Chain A
């Protein structure tokens, strides 16, 4: 019988698995991303342009929902996974620790260090070694609905937390919420919180140590508490699904949410959902808290990395392709092809030459507010255990949003969690 099973398996393997065998001299690369199909199409076009110049290198793009992306990268570490993956900078330290991503060759790391702004290049490196080529950078700002502002008689977007609460109070009428808070999605919860905290002069982590026990952090938790207690925000209108869409987006699109702190990348989602009404959306700096002196924000970047389990020839081809894709020769007007793809989604490119090439486009009203926030933005802390830290803080903030704990308890839990998570990630 065992023999029978074997024959059955062999026959099955022969029929089903054949398509995966590639001719020896050719290199087949797979590029994993979470982008939407229209964007994937642009990437595929760029990839075929590269293949034309480099016959023998075939590149296929695989897209999975954002919620599955990290798991897919993690489980793909054994060599059969994607050759190239697009990752969120927060994930890099652990991927490096587990040996899943390949260090960049000297030529690539030299280019990253010289052609990208220092902070962004730093997020693509661990202990001085570059592992990825940065592409998009996202920053947070306050988006507000001008039509709703006009209706409520508010002349300008809020500059301070006091003005924020005022505006939120005026906007919160019959079923509408003045200020939207996102839940059920870690970055959507934690990044706006961190932006407000930064604008209050605080930070989540400094020198690898959590700073959530500060007075500045407490004030931020208390801001949330007030917003909830006064009914300026309705958590039920802020849920998100595995694809970082859902009610929070729907409610802002349909004019049920007056203000929300979000990142620039959602421009394409807003445009698609609002049509002509998109012109009503304004962008303003994050309001400044009582202990802060200036509007600050949080940024995070994405990068492409190469699977350490891939064959040497594949790795070499992958880096060559990425260097081309992110380099000045692949796009128009000295921009990279990558920057062109990102701009189609309203995402900010990060390579210095790309920013220059797209100067005009970056000045459009919605994006301008974001671009100007970049100056005073801090990178979201990239540390070992970062994703878990982010998940834990998300839970604490959501408990606060739903009135399950007080601002003090939230602060205590958040700090204790963070200490334990960062300590555990080191051992």
Chain B
């Protein structure tokens, strides 16, 4: 591939070996007990894998975008859920990194990069979803403290995170330097903060998605990550990095289930021939799926290479990689189940997990409809 070199090949091999030896043996436990991949994250941090997504200025390796993509692609081949757990580490720290707050970087981002703490970012609310104007979770200033009241839903890593980034509406009246929204860091076990119901989702069983409640939850002013007049365009501007990382994970997931189904089709005999060799219709379906995967690969690594070259004007293709990644990995997983016949439908054969996990990509990290709407807005 045009984006590969010897170093990247080694890194991809290392990520592949890590996925096979550390992630794959964990999948069954994750599926049966909704186990969170804490130990996998710690080991990846120790090896410097998470650091690929973080800047050198804070002790990271880059960010090295193509390398980060290779890591998530390899992880995604084994588990879309675990791959996205790594993408969410980046998402949980991105806002703190953007502000450059040295204390919070030291306290949260560096340990997250080392895999020793877990972060979460909470946006959605019961009313209005991620629509900023509808937020009811508020932050106000009392006695030199920030007081948070309200709730959040669909928070990824709820109950497992050590630090939560909460996007609050600043309670009126507020004065400069406060803007209409305040991003606040809340540590687990802070009085007044409670994790509520953990959702039972269709997929991503190793990812904990749940509700957060704040009842006069007080945190020091130093926990303010940022406060500014936030609008939808600012949210959109921050969407590209998590979108492209999710796109890389989706690419891996599509490849993972495709290779599994192709191996089955070449082994499964009808008469003295494999079903792959015997049926042209089957070969053509595999060929069609492969073409979709290669289209996605081109899009994903094109954006990642652009980012490595310092071209950050990639909002549309980066968001497209998330949207198309979600569509393609779901389609490939669904087709692969059909191509493997009855065996494709058996839970133990592990095809359906790919489909359930793929489906999560439609909503997690902003829904594909929201993102499509953003692209449409950019085209105005």
A binds B: no
Identify the A interface with B (CB < 8 A): none
